[in-house]
Structure 1
Amino acid sequence: MATPTRRANGEGSRPVQRKDGRGQILIRHTDADGVRKRATVTGRTAKETRQKAEGVRARLKKELPARDTRQLVDQYAAAWIKTTMANSDRKTSTKTMYAAVARHHIIGSRLGATPMHRVRPSAVDGWLAELRRKGLSDSTRRNAYTILRAVVDAAVKDRELAENPVAAITRPRVEVKEAEYLTPDQVKILLEAARGTRYGPLFEFLVNTGLRRGEALALKWRSHVKEDDGWLKIRGTLTRENGELVTTSTKTAKSQREVPITDRTAEILQRLRARQAAERDRAGSQWNETGYVFTTSFGEPCDPRNALRALKVAADQAGLPSIGLHTLRHSASSTMLANGVPLKVVSEILGHSSISITGDIYGHVSPDISVSAMQVLSDALR
């Protein structure tokens, strides 16, 4: 083989023979950041070496890295948590959950110990199968997949990889379960059991509005309760982050909505105003004026966890175990649908991102609606 000579940028030297008998070509190039680099290509023969060099040149022409990074998936995932994800506009609770899933199911796994350039779609399939064998839920497996794909996407954007092998695998499906709900009679029993308690009005409010727990607890009198106009403005959700109660943005853009104030809802709000006024007087200088609709006896916002505990107590007393605060939202939705409210209207009241989500969650109501619809059709054509 000939002695290598300097050639044009990205063209590479002519093949030379190394001491071990393998062929070698040096390809000098300038990366996207203007940094001059050199890629070494080797092969068993001069022909194989030239073919590999052509592959590298083809990548460089497409402004791809000469070679995929050898960094471990573990290392890249850990860096992604501290950089790309930390700088994203995701909610803090979502970032915390993503970091936990990445640390538990990607970092430290067999796939995590694999160099990025050796990750193949089959390896991703094997990793997902391993998560299933561990008994992880479909939603956790789906989150893990989403995070892994985002990690490798970041490597592609950083020009560390030519393509994302995770994208070749279909995202795990999550079976949508029909929502559990209470009948109107069961709702009455539950509210009776909670009557006179701190959170009784919240339970009554949730089942009369269909709001999410955090949405109701985030409401403020001045900003969100427009009694003269007859509307509630849903603009945020109250949640606990890093040990503190904070109001964050709603779950989706469509979750920001206006919900009508009915006579029953107005009555609940009036009772809450009266209770707050009495508690403000009793607390005196210890009262903290936060402006929230639902507060503690000293004016602080209510902790969502305490609301759930109170519901569990009331549900046990009412003989309705295994329900959560979301059950009240589902009960409101199911009652509306069962009484002929159009699915699109219910979807808008709930703040779902699409009507299909509403239909999937409340499919159990469809048979009743179908019977009524067919009866209307028969009556009209009689």
Structure 2
Amino acid sequence: MTTPSISRRTRANSDGTVYQRKDGRWEAVGYVLAPGNTRKRVRVYGVTRNDALVKLTEKVAASNRGLPVVTAQGSLAAFLTYWLENVAVHHLRENTHTRYTAVARLYLIPGLGRKKLAKLTAKDVRTGLNELRTACQCCARGLDAGRDQPQCCAVGKCCHKRLSAPTLAYVHSVLKSALEHAVREEEIPRNVARNVRTGTPRPRRFEPLTTREARMFLAATSSHRLQALFELALRTGLRKGELLGLRWEDLDHGSGTASIRRTLQRTRTGGLTTLPTKTVSSERRIVLPAPCLLSLRAHRKQQAQEKEKAGAGWVDSRHVFTRPDGHPIEPATLTRHFKALLRRAHLRQIRFHDLRHSTTTLLLEQGVELVVIKELLGHAHIGVTATVYAHVRLRLQRDAIHLLGRTLGKPSEATTNPDDGDDPPLCAAPVR
């Protein structure tokens, strides 16, 4: 008994419809999952019946896995503009939003902006990042052509100015954040930028002050008007904005502590503005060293004299560190004072933020536990502390290994007392 053949036009229920159009192409129509847990009718086309059927089958299979159909029709440039102006502006600090906007304008939109958001692939992202990695920025952005006297590509001599690895990673991070929001709004099914690996950039190298240099720095601040600020920066590792945003009500001389609640920064729209701390973990309470308490008391007496001298011109900003007329100190002004102080002390030029690194390095060299340093610095995770100061920990490991080597050497070479078995392990031994 023969089985009757099934017509190739026969389709099961919910499988969709496939038919040939008047122009010769084949069209397949079916229903797939749409945003909002609804069903949407979609149409796909192919040169042959099988082509159209395969496309429809792929969309139905993705729908069955819970992936909604792509609704984004615009370009990546249009979505980045929408995201920056309507979403990121409400969730990012103003300076961070300014940097995100610059990254989109200078790198993402020129390279990938014309791509359709719905059709953007991981290969497109990787290709765009590779072009940024290898292209001379003077040529790509037309910087040399705009100069009065071209020095690079316009004269046929490329300067080979490339983006640094941290900048490239930052560009990738901005794109991932934007596409992540597109996924949340169900514009696209997945974040293709997450499938691209740019490599972990090496942390920025810094040169903290040595113990001798730190003592020279403290000695040079003894006659400076902002001695209390510089001493507080080196002894506690507070950020520049946290120091400038400190108010008298944040200090508790009875318990010898300071509450870090805010930061002072200059923004593009608000000028010199008081903002919340960098992260939630940055809002913390720290113990003030005894020398800092003494210098802060002297600083308050000095500020009272300046207030009396200024008279009606005094502005009560309630900040601990102010200008002689009471106004808050500009971050750029503090940097100039710091550079001048280094020159006066005959010390090498470093960034103000390197005082924070110096604090941490000196604490690590004294054997202070990493978790204590993390709380003092206000890092969100201990992994941040461990990563930034990995080179310090390696040096401490090297000293510990050398100490163990001397202990395990010949008896005549040992410089320490014999171990009676009751002492703690050598990992807690002090280092040079």
Fold conserved (TM > 0.5)? yes
Alignment match of 2:374 (pick from 323, 338, 347)? 347
CA shift, 1:175, in A, is 0.8
State the match for 1:40 in structure 2: 43
* Cα distance change on mapping 1:335 and 1:35 into 2, 3 Å: closer
Q: 1:228 to 1:40 in 2, by over 3 A?
A: same
For 1:226, the equivalent position in structure 2 comes to 252
Query: Does the alignment pair 1:77 with 2:105?
Result: no
Is the contact between residue 232 and residue 260 of structure 1 (CA under 8 Å) also seen in structure 2?
yes
Q: In the aligned structure 2, how far is the partner of 1:32 from the partner of 1:117?
A: 14
In the other structure, the counterpart of 1:17 is: 20
Larger Rg: 2
Partner of 2:303: 276
Measured after TM superposition, the shift of residue 200 of structure 1 is: 3.6
Alignment-mate amino acid for residue 107 of structure 1: I
Query: RMSD between aligned alpha carbons?
Result: 2.9
Which consecutive unaligned segments of at least 5 residues does structure 2 have?
1-6, 136-161, 408-415, 421-432
Shift of 1:15: 2.3
Shift of 1:129: 1.4
SS of residue paired to 1:15:
strand
* 1:88-130, Cα deviation, whole Å (9 max, x unpaired): 2x32221221121112111121x22211233221221111212
Deviation at 1:283, TM superposition (A): 1.1
Distance in 2, Cα, partners of 1:50 & 1:370:
65
Aligned residue number for residue 90 of structure 2 = 87
Q: For the Cα contact (< 8 Å) 2:33–2:66, is it kept in 1? A: no
- Structure 1: any 5+ residue segments left out of the alignment? none
Q: 1:29 to 1:293 in 2, by over 3 A?
A: same
Distance in 1, matches of 2:273 and 2:391, equals: 35
- Count of matched residue positions in the alignment of Structure 1 and Structure 2: 374
Seq. identity, %: 30
> 5 Å matches for 1:194-233?
194-222=221-249, 224-233=250-259
Distance in 2 separating the partners of 1:230 and 1:195: 21
Instruction: Quickly say closer, same or farther: Cα 1:30–1:145, change in 2 above 3 A.
Output: closer
Moved more, 197-206 or 371-380: 371-380
Q: Which amino acid aligns with 2:167?
A: T
Partners of 1:128 and 1:141 within 8 A in 2: yes
Which residue of 394, 399, 405 corresponds with 1:371? 399
Please tell me whether the aligned partners of residues 57 and 66 of structure 1 are also in contact (alpha carbons under 8 angstroms): no
Matches within 5 A, 1:323-362: 323-362=350-389
Q: How far did 1:33 drift? A: 5.0
Bigger Cα displacement from structure 2, 270-279 vs 325-334: 325-334
Q: Distance in 2 between matches of 1:144 and 1:70?
A: 24
**Inter-CA distance 369–215: structure 2 relative to 1 (3 Å threshold):** farther
**Could you say if the C-alpha distance between residues 336 and 15 of structure 1 is closer, same or farther in structure 2, counting changes exceeding 3 Å?**
closer
Larger relative contact order (Cα-Cα within 8 Å, sequence gap ≥ 6):
1
Change in 2 beyond 3 A, CA 1:151/1:202? same
Query: CA separation in 1, counterparts of 2:70 and 2:238?
Result: 52
- Alignment partners' CA distance in 2, 1:171 and 1:330: 27
Q: Give yes or no for the alignment of 1:381 onto 2:419.
A: yes
Give the 3 Å change call, closer, same or farther, for CA 375–33 of structure 1 in structure 2. closer
